[in-house]
Structure 1
Amino acid sequence: MGNRKRISPRNSPPPQVTKTVRKQESIDFSIGKMLVTVGVVVTVLALGAQYLYVNYYYLPNQISTKSKLPTVSRKSNPRIWGTYRSHLYFGLRARYETSPLFGMMWYRQPVEGQFPQLRHWCEQVIFLSPKYAWVLADGHSFGLQAIHDEPLDIFTDWINDGPVWTARVTTISNVDSNFELTSGNGFSKLLEQRTKGFNSKFEAVYGLSAKGYPDFYQELGKVALSNMLGTIGYAHGSNRVQSSYSSKHSLYGPHSLLFTCPSRSVFPRGFLWDEGFHQLLLMKFDPDLSLEIIASWLDTMNVDGWIPREMILGKEAELRVPVEFVVQRDNIANPPMLFYLIEKYLDHKVLKKFYPRLRLWHKWLNSTQWGKKSGTYRWRGRNATTIDELNPRTLPSGLDDYPRATHPTDDEYHVDLSCWMALSARVLSKLAKLAGDSQNEEQYLADYNYLMDLNRFDNLHWSQAKQRYCDYGLHSNSRDSSYSVASVSMKRVARASPKLQLVEDAFGYVSLFPVLLKLLPHDSDKLRIILENIKTERLWSDFGLRSIAPSSPYYKAHNTEHDPPYWRGSIWININYLMLAALKHYSSVEGPNRELAFGVYSDLRNNLVTNVAREFRRTGFLWENYNDETGQGQGAHPFTGWSSLVLSIMAEQYD
């Protein structure tokens, strides 16, 4: 074996493998850096895409996505006809989208050169509109309507026999005519049978004759019920809605809604909180029909639990609504009056079907209408930037221009909404028990007990100085309205800087809600104070309870130059009904307030019924509200909505 030459490491070149390793490390580092960069870019793009998807597609489209919960409307024959075109003087249709539509038009022969005054849609024009009312109607099988359009009296009678209907229109005129109308004996006989059946059922349910009411009061009661039943509407179509996450409106639907109509001439569509009052009357006469209407409303709920406060479905309905009220927004609530109603239905098995949707509705209310302070609630939708309103309206509350904090902020909270949420929790605890949901039964009961912990509730809402329940918010006790000469418009002027405080300068309906919803204990000292204050603070009138006391600076005050007072003094039958129901409850329980509650109940009921009857005799109408100084009817008429509760008041039906 020969000798090999030894090479000194000092003189040898770097091994080739080292250079290769370094180069490989450099390449690996570059690739790693690139991968990290790509990863970051991909992550950013993914997060951006997710953000865009969630905020510009998913969330904006939630409003138009119907709830996936099982629907609760029962299957009924869509071919059954009814007077479901409530915005017409006389109109018929069936309950399916493509139903043929029937209506009636007439006009007086005009003088040459004049345009004829065509009668078709119910209208409210002073001295021009005819008087009209359903004299008898049961909402599905027959109806008799009288229309007086000087010099003509028109009578529209109809009967329904499953998929077949027959109508008869007769006229009486003080102008001589040269023709005679024929009559159908079979029609008359069947109509007479159904009229007799209606009258018998009416007395069995409401017992006005047995209570000693004279014939005129019984006629008033029948007209109140018949006009609610005869003007039940059916609508199919989509709402125009706008999400909180979008600047554009979209369509939500289609829906098929069965609803009761507040006023054929002014409000010929469905209103969520009105519906709860309407069904207080119908549930006694036709509970199956009432539950069908409630179910129809619950099935309009979207995936979040939101229900539009007004159901304006289709082009024809939109034509009857001011454009600014057509689009419904998904942060806007309405009083959950259906919970008040459903508490009276608790023995009905169908409520187990309603429970999941009612839970979702309550969840939506709880998650969207919460207040900044724990355990408080705030109506959304007030205009925080306007100075054109004396007090920015709170349309979602149902009490429109009732005065709240003068300067809307997120810090405010509202006593009426807190009461509605407490009531909802109480009812849901009972429904949970009915459904066998013990876990949620306990949770809802705990929620109710927390919300109505009187120490906590009074600390939030009770004014020791004024002895009343109040809203809280950024409020100025000294404000006025002044006119700008340049714009000829009214502007709000705060004479004193607003501060966070109780809204103490308004005593009215909002202050009564803990009593109205029967949330105060029967032995509560606050209950006695409120009942005494009703008279001493002059909320009392000879015609019913005013919406706000004359001592308030907002009493009968215009909100803008074009917006006259609405819930600022007038007497509203729905709130008076709630008060009578509460007084009846407190007067039936042994305790220190029983006698006082009964005395207020008796006087209030007498004042209310007497005045509504007097105005019905004078005008032939039930009215939207009544003047607190004269008792005269005001606003929309004929009002077929909650003013019809005068029948329940006469019959003393509150449970």
Structure 2
Amino acid sequence: MARQRKAGGNSNSATTPTTTSSSTHSSQQQTPLPKKPSKPAQNPGRSRTTDSGLFILSKWKTIIGCVCLAIASYFGYLGYLETRVNTPYDSDKMVQRTGLDDPDRYWGSYRPGNYFGLKTRDPHSLVMGLMWYSPQNLGHGGKGIRHWCEISDNLDTYGWTHHDGRTFGMQEIHDLPFELKTSFVKYPGKQFGGDWTSRISVRNYTNAWNSQISLIWYVALDERTNGHIKYVPDERSSEPGIYGETSGLGEFQVKIKPVKGKLLHKSHLSSAAHSLKDLKEIIFAHFREVTTKSGRRFISLPGEMISSTSHVADPNFIAVQLTGELDFAIDITYQSTSGFSVGEDIPKPPVGREYTKTLEEKIEGFNEKFEEVFHLREKGYSAEEVKFAKYAVSNMIGSIGYFYGSSKVQSVYTKNPVPYWKAPLYTAVPSRSFFPRGFLWDEGFHGLLISSWDLDISLDIICHWFDLLNVEGWIPREQILGVEALAKVPAEFVIQRNTNANPPTFFLTLKKILTQHRKELSVKGRFATLERLYPRLQTWFAWFNNTQKGDVLGAYQWRGRDAQSERELNPKTLTSGLDDFPRASHPTSQERHVDLRCWIAFAASVMAELSTLLGKNDAKYYETSSFLSDNKLLNDLHLSPFTETYADYGLHTDSVMLKRPQITQRNAAKYQQQQLEMVRVTLKQPDLRFVDSTFGYANLFPFLLEIIDHDSPYLNKILKDIHNPNILWTKFGLRSLSKTSPLYMKRNTEHDPPYWRGPIWININYLALKALRHYGRIEGPYAADARTIYNELRQNVIGNIFREYQRSGYIWEQYDDQTGRGKGCSPFTGWSSLVVLIMSEQY
């Protein structure tokens, strides 16, 4: 806007010379110019004509100048608009301490997409990780090698049993017939963040005959890490291992030592890798079969790869393979050697029994803290239920990753996608196997649990996300940073568009912090963090309030729906987070979305509370919250008079279906080998109306975010509907879409199964339980009903998630509303882990 005002100012000032010229011309007619004595004027009439011509020329110059200035201003302003999408918000950075400024969390399991991987919180970190395979099960193309978390690997279960987010973690992996345990303990200190020890142990936990396993531990430098690594094999040194130096780590050494079982064969690969995403393929491509002197055959790695010039290529990828006889265990030690004199005795990280003792102490400390925070034993939960809850918390904390890179973004002013600025992101991920990256609306739910466990980790995550705020006030909703993250994302989801929002769920985290952790904000600089955060929250809130507003006052609309879609039964609303939940069948600018209005109302209330805490006392947030929470105004825009339910409004018809086009003579040749894809057919023309034939999660938001008045008769209607088995109630939790809705469990395309059209989602059930507890505590006509439903729903949700975990070994993305079976991807230890807060009743 500043540039726009400047352009306008230039235009006004540009007219001034024209006015001056007119005035001058007038005065020339009244007072003729003096004549030069040496050359008297021969033709006064011609002089006046010349003056007139000069005036016209001057006027044309002025006009042309104004036009040029306007054109330049226009294109300059367009250029300004183009750059806004990838221009950072200009304010103090949120992240104040990272890398070596925070040595306690410098090293960590920050590669959640790997079964086990370690790295530092540096933009370009050295990375380490584990691969394994059974020689008997190795298949074509590397099938059977475990590296990245993949659903197709069909592991029986895997996940962290203990993880504190700071000093240690312990994980179990069941890959029939093997049980692997991976653990690490950090020893902070020294100049470059200290040392650590990791242990990988394997046993055969079935009766199947399989006595060998090959473990591969690798060290790699990403494409931009400044440093070098080398491998010193056993035959060359009494201290074999991987030695290296980087700018972030100084000098270091990595040692691998078998501590249990019989080592059968050892080999290594020292090579150059073009990308971290290719490491598994590089390993497989270099496998060789060797025969030892004893006549035994092994799959081996070839050692150092020699270039065509007979010089060893500078390696950035070193892998050490150990094939052992079960039961088998190795300890890996990382030792920082910078800052010590030659010959000086450098303290070594513990291995063997000493490491076992340290790990046991860490586990004991974790168990004590867990009970102090969640009080589950005190509440009477069984040992197995407490173990399950520890798994859920540990996997939420253990799924926190550290990413670095730039998103691809686009605005209406950019012809093609442009890169966002490069930045780090410290964030939890929804699913290590399927969504190993940051999602904006997921992270607000994650923060509810993380803040209970470690407030500073939660605030650090918030800081990283809000350093991604651009000058417009927009944060890309999906963060795909770095080559490993990008490799797991279909191309259609990579580009982020700055018109598109996502529910502002960080206000849920902030509300919980302000409510349950207010006393803790006065220490460790936490209050200062909120001070820095406040102006960014203001800008973020303003972006939502301006860009997502609807066609009438108080209405809001999710942008990003495809009005031209022919394949979708109901065009998706990915920006709402509820993806394929049915909205108005024909997207227009006249839509009003009830859930978005409630999110803005809730966000305004949190901003008001935060402004008071910080001494800002910003009245506009109280006014906005009061306006959007006014039940009469809410009812005017969103309450259907026919069903007495809250609903979206838009151009809608229920008479739609997917139908395969007929193959005609005209297109028969083209499609003779395949069928045409199904398209949507509209059987009855839509009209502007409430979308009240649909009832599900989106319709509940006035209740979920506690905006509806406690004595409203429409609260009573909602309570009856959610407790009705024919609508939302099940023995396993609240289903996402009523069984009476026209699109209940309908595919959105012939390829897309129903997602938010019936299955049970734990994040919304958490909000429902939170709301039921809220209304049950306010004395009123419906408090008793709210308490009854709360107790029943809580038991149903906890019982089903726990049973499914025992049956399948996983926490799931969603649960079937008919059977309670886990669905979607697994493990999904993002917001489904909120079951722990439900168990402990920490809302």
TM-score by length of 1: 0.94
Q: 2:90 aligns with which of 68, 71, 74?
A: 68
One-letter code of the match for 1:651?
A: S
Q: Give yes or no for the alignment of 1:385 onto 2:564.
A: yes
**CA deviation after TM superposition for structure 1 residue 74, in Å:** 3.0
Whether the aligned pair in 1 keeps the contact of 2:200 and 2:329 (CA below 8 Å) is no
Q: Residues 361-440 of structure 1 correspond to what in structure 2 (within 5 A)?
A: 361-438=540-617
- 1:171 match: 202
Aligned counterparts of 1:444 and 1:308: Cα–Cα separation in 2: 24
Could you tell me how far apart the structure 2 residues matched to 1:181 and 1:312 are?
A: 35
Aligned-pair CA distance for 1:111: 6.5
CA contact (8 A) 2:156 2:808 kept: no
Distance, in Å, in 1 between the alignment partners of 2:506 and 2:652 is 32
Task: Read off the aligned partner of 1:158 and give its amino acid letter.
Answer: F
**Counterpart selection for 2:812 from 623, 642, 650:** 623
| Deviations, residues 16-45 of structure 1 (Å, cap 9, x unaligned) | 977643322222221221121111111111
> Which residues of 2 match residues 195-210 of structure 1 at below 5 A?
195-210=363-378
The CA deviation at 1:114 is 4.2
Please say if 1:356 is aligned against 2:535: yes
- Consecutive unaligned residues of structure 2, counting only runs of 5 or more, are 1-38, 213-261, 264-327, 331-350, 522-526, 664-674
Post-superposition offset of 1:130: 5.1
CA contact (8 A) 1:139 1:231 kept: no
Amino acid in structure 1 at the alignment position of 2:413? Y
Q: Name the structure 1 match of 2:647.
A: 470
1:577 aligns with 766
What are the superposed Cα offsets for residues 329-372 of structure 1, whole Å, 9 maximum, x if unpaired? 11110000111221222223232221111000001111111101
Equivalent pair of 1:382/1:392 in contact (CA under 8 Å): yes
Residue equivalent to 1:510: 698
Equivalent residue, structure 1, for 2:127 = 101
Count the aligned residue pairs: 635
Kindly indicate whether the alpha-carbon contact (under 8 Å) linking 1:142 and 1:159 is maintained by their aligned counterparts in 2.
yes
Q: Extract unaligned runs of 5+ from structure 1.
A: 1-15
Q: Deviations over 1:94-118 (max 9, x none)?
A: 0012211001111221469844422
Q: 2:781 aligns with which of 592, 596, 613?
A: 592
- TM-superposition CA deviations, 1:613-642 (whole Å, max 9, x none): 110000010000000000000001001100
**Local SS of the residue matching 2:581:** coil
**Contact 1:352-1:434 at 8 Å conserved across structures:** no
Q: 1:113 to 1:455 in 2, by over 3 A?
A: closer
Name the counterpart of 1:59.
81
Q: C-alpha offsets along residues 403-459 of structure 1, whole Å, 9 cap, x if unaligned?
A: 000000001110000001111111111122222223xx2111111111122222101
Alignment partner, residue 457 of structure 2: 289
Asked if 1:22 is matched to 2:45, the reply is: yes
Counterpart selection for 2:466 from 288, 298, 310 = 298
Structural mapping, 1:149-160, within 5 Å: 149-160=175-186
CA distance in 1, matches of 2:471, 2:625: 25
CA distance 1:68–1:224, shift in 2 (3 Å): same
Of 305, 315, 336 in structure 1, the residue corresponding to residue 483 of structure 2 is: 315
CA distance, structure 2, for counterparts of residue 24 and residue 381 of structure 1: 67
Letter in 1 for 2:461: I
TM-score (norm 2): 0.74
In structure 2, how many angstroms separate the alpha carbons of the residues matched to 1:82 and 1:113? 32
Distance 1:43 1:187 in 2: 78
Q: Is the 8 A contact 1:412 1:472 kept in 2?
A: yes
In the alignment, what sits opposite 2:149?
Answer: 122
- RMSD, aligned α-carbons: 1.6
Q: 1:191-237 CA distances to partner (integer Å, 9 max, x unpaired)?
A: 11110000000001101100000111101100000001111000011
Contact 1:300/1:307 (<8 A) preserved: yes
**Alignment check: 8 A CA contact 1:235 1:313 kept:** yes
Instruction: Show the counterpart of 2:638.
Output: 461
Give the structure with the higher percent strand: 2
Residue 547 (structure 1) aligned with residue 574 (structure 2): no
Pick from 822, 837, 840 the counterpart of residue 633 of structure 1.
Answer: 822
Query: Pairwise mapping of residues 337-348 of structure 1 onto structure 2 (< 5 A)?
Result: 337-346=505-514, 347=518, 348=521
Residue of structure 2 in register with 1:560 after alignment: 749
**In the alignment, what sits opposite 2:711?**
523
| Structure 1 pair 233–112 and aligned structure 2 pair: CA distance change class (3 A) | closer
Q: Is the 8 Å Cα contact of residues 471 and 502 (structure 1) preserved in structure 2?
A: yes
Give the secondary-structure state (helix, strand or coil) at the position aligned to 2:132: coil
- Aligned residue for 1:43? 66
Deviations 1:54-107 (A, max 9, x none): 22x211111111000212223134461000001000000000122110011112
> Matched residues in 2 for 1:287 and 1:429: separation?
22
CA distance in 2, matches of 1:521, 1:211: 32
Equivalent residue number for residue 491 of structure 1: 679
Q: CA deviation at 1:128?
A: 3.4
CA contact (8 A) 1:335 1:420 kept: yes
How far off its partner does 1:309 sit? 0.2
The corresponding residue for 1:13 is none
Secondary structure of the corresponding residue to residue 472 of structure 2: coil
Query: What is the match of residue 610 of structure 1?
Result: 799
- Tell me by how many angstroms 1:520 deviates: 1.3
The CA deviation at 1:524 is 1.5
Q: Which residue of 2 aligns with 1:90?
A: 116
Q: Which residue of 2 is the match for residue 6 of structure 1?
A: none
**Matched letter for residue 213 of structure 1:** Y
Aligned partners of 2:634, 2:412: CA distance in 1, in Å?
Answer: 31
Match of 1:500 among 688, 694, 699: 688
1:242 counterpart = 2:277: no
- State the AA in 2 paired with 1:538: I
Alpha-carbon deviation of 1:493?
1.4
- Paired with 1:29 and 1:247, the residues of 2 have a C-alpha distance of 48
Distance (whole Å) between structure 1 residues aligned to residue 365 and residue 404 of structure 2: 32
Q: Distance in 1 between matches of 2:136 and 2:73?
A: 66
Contact 1:74–1:292 (Cα < 8 Å) also in 2:
no
**Cα distance in 1 between the residues matched to 2:830 and 2:162:** 16
Post-superposition offset of 1:645: 0.4
Partner of 2:257: none
Q: Does residue 1:324 correspond to 2:492, yes or no? A: yes
Q: Secondary structure of 1:106's match?
A: strand
Q: Secondary structure at the match of 1:36?
A: helix
Secondary structure of the corresponding residue to residue 468 of structure 1: coil
Q: Which residue of 2 aligns with 1:139?
A: 165
Change (3 A) 1:606 1:128: closer
Preserved contact between residue 763 and residue 831 of structure 2 (Cα < 8 Å)? yes
How far is the alpha carbon of 1:286 from its aligned partner? 0.5
User: Structure 1 92/596 Cα, relative in aligned 2: closer, same or farther at 3 Å?
Assistant: same
Q: Residues of 2 paired with 1:242 and 1:641: CA distance?
A: 28
Which residue of the other structure, out of 653, 659, 678, is the alignment partner of 1:482? 659
